[in-house]
Amino acid sequence: MKAMTFTEPGGPEVLQVTDVPDPLPKAHQLLVRVHATALNRADLLQRRGQYPPPPGEPDILGLELSGEIQSCGKAVQGFAPGENIVALVGGGGYAELVVVDYRLAMKIPEGLSFNEAAAIPEAFFTAQETVLTLGGLQSRETVLIHAAGSGVGTAQVQMAKSIGAHVLVTAGTTEKLQMAAQLGADAGCNYQEQDFAEWVQMQTEGKGVNLVVDPVGAVNWQRNFHCLTPLGRLVIFGLMSGQKQETDLRPLLTKRLTVKGTVLRTRSVDEKIAITQRFVKRWLVPLAKGTIRPVIDSVFPITKASDAHRYMEANRNIGKIVLDVRNFE
């Protein structure tokens, strides 16, 4: 089969189309012909040599995909060849074929295209876990969502609004804030133009927010504390601005704050299965009805994956960047 691979880490130009062996499904796996995959920050880090795949996962990029089942292992239940599925994987989405643990697959909701479906797993699973499972957001609470124009951010806004929360967001452009507002955000702050912590205090009349969800990391660390109300919660799920920051820990004690961190890719299969099941139970029907939806910024052919990586590195996207994998020519 053909796949988009690289032999040495580097810039987007290292990605190239190569021939690699077809994957062989095990008893609990589906063999899937990939139609689309979507970009994630992890792809960029892995391409640079900074985020190797977990043991047992392929070196090929791509953590989510949609496609058609070609064959099923003997232990597979509930799926059949010819069905269209969307799935979370540990790698392999930038290829014609991939093997998927059937317990991490979902049938594509009616009305969604392959491109739309491919934009679901990483963004919506992460949103579910950060806002609800770990963040514990409740109706009528207030949440601050950073990077609201990202794929995850657009999903977080929709999930938070769907449960009746008050949603404040940050983003770096007017266009991203406008998209968040269209998805239901109650107010937005351009962090390029004003201090978001001061803005939150004004928005909440000095009370602060109940939950902050943050993929940015170091540069936001201290100001996130300032945004939180007593007994508030902070969930960190990315380190885009770096890993280290000198900090004043007193707010953790005086406000009795809770801080949690999470990452999706390196979790065990059992944990990912539980996440998938939670999502299927709660969100597949809203997706089918269009109550929530994946936000797609752009679609690149797989042969233009380098251009897609450059586009993401420039932080230009609002929502997900999708790769159409149906033609390697």
DSSP, residue by residue, 171-211: ESSHHHHHHHHHTT-SEEEETTTS-HHHHHHHHTTT--EEE
Among the listed ranges 2-11, 161-170, 216-225, which one has the minimum average pLDDT value?
216-225
Give the model's pLDDT for residue 250. 87
pLDDT digits (tens, 9 = 90+) for 241-258: 777 778 888 888 999 999
Average pLDDT over residues 299-303: 98
Residue 25 in any domain: the answer is yes
pLDDT digits (tens, 9 = 90+) for 32-47: 999 999 999 999 999 9
Average pLDDT of the chain, as a whole number: 96
Dihedral over Cα of 127, 174, 292, 81: its sign: negative
Round to whole Å and give the CA distance between 216 and 237.
8
Average pLDDT over residues 228-237: 98
- pLDDT for residue 239 is more than 90: no
Residues forming a β-bridge with 86: 66, 106
Q: Which residues 6+ apart lie within 8 Å of 154 measured at CB?
A: 123, 148, 179, 180, 183, 294, 295, 318, 319, 320
- pLDDT for residue 240 is more than 90: no
Residue 172 in any domain: the answer is yes
109 and 25 in a common domain = yes
Average pLDDT over residues 204-222: 95
273 and 211 in a common domain = no
131 and 89 in a common domain = no
Query: Structural domain of residue 128, as residue ranges?
Result: 123-261
Average pLDDT over residues 153-165: 98
Residue that finishes a domain, picked among 213, 241, 261: 261
Residue that finishes a domain, picked among 229, 261, 293: 261
> Which of 128, 106, 131 minimizes the C-alpha distance to 116?
106
Residue 308 in any domain: the answer is yes
- pLDDT for residue 102 is more than 80: yes
Give the model's pLDDT for residue 244. 78
> Which of 90, 79, 96 minimizes the C-alpha distance to 28?
79
- pLDDT for residue 117 is more than 80: yes
Give the model's pLDDT for residue 256. 96
39 and 71 in a common domain = yes
298 and 240 in a common domain = no
Residue that finishes a domain, picked among 261, 281, 302: 261
Please report how the helices 174-182 and 151-162 are oriented relative to each other, as an axis angle in degrees rounded to 10. 30
Q: Which residues 6+ apart lie within 8 Å of 230 measured at CB?
A: 208, 255, 256
Tokens of 231: 């007994």
Q: Considering the entire predicted model, what is its pTM?
A: 0.95
Whether 298 contacts 317, CB under 8 Å: yes
128 and 95 in a common domain = no
**DSSP helix, strand, coil percent of the chain (3-state; round to 5):** 35, 25, 40
Q: Percentage of the chain with pLDDT > 70?
A: 100
Give the model's pLDDT for residue 243. 77
Residue 38 in any domain: the answer is yes
pLDDT confidence tier of residue 128, bands split at 50, 70 and 90: very high
Give the model's pLDDT for residue 110. 86
CATH number at residue 81: 3.90.180.10
pLDDT confidence tier of residue 218, bands split at 50, 70 and 90: confident
Give the model's pLDDT for residue 246. 80
220 and 107 in a common domain = no
CATH number at residue 235: 3.40.50.720
The total number of structural domains that make up the chain: 2
213 and 85 in a common domain = no
Average pLDDT over residues 12-28: 97
199 and 290 in a common domain = no
- pLDDT for residue 214 is more than 80: yes
Average pLDDT over residues 198-219: 96
Give the model's pLDDT for residue 196. 98
Round to whole Å and give the CA distance between 236 and 234.
7
171 and 45 in a common domain = no
Among the listed ranges 96-100, 177-181, 216-220, 258-262, which one has the minimum average pLDDT value?
216-220
257 and 191 in a common domain = yes
How big is the CA angle at 228 (ends 156 and 145), to the nearest 5 degrees? 20
Give the model's pLDDT for residue 10. 97
Whether 96 contacts 65, CB under 8 Å: no
Round to whole Å and give the CA distance between 64 and 121.
6
Give the model's pLDDT for residue 319. 97
132 and 112 in a common domain = no
Residue 329 in any domain: the answer is no
pLDDT confidence tier of residue 215, bands split at 50, 70 and 90: very high
| Residue 274 burial (10 A CB sphere; 0-12, 13-18, 19+) | middle
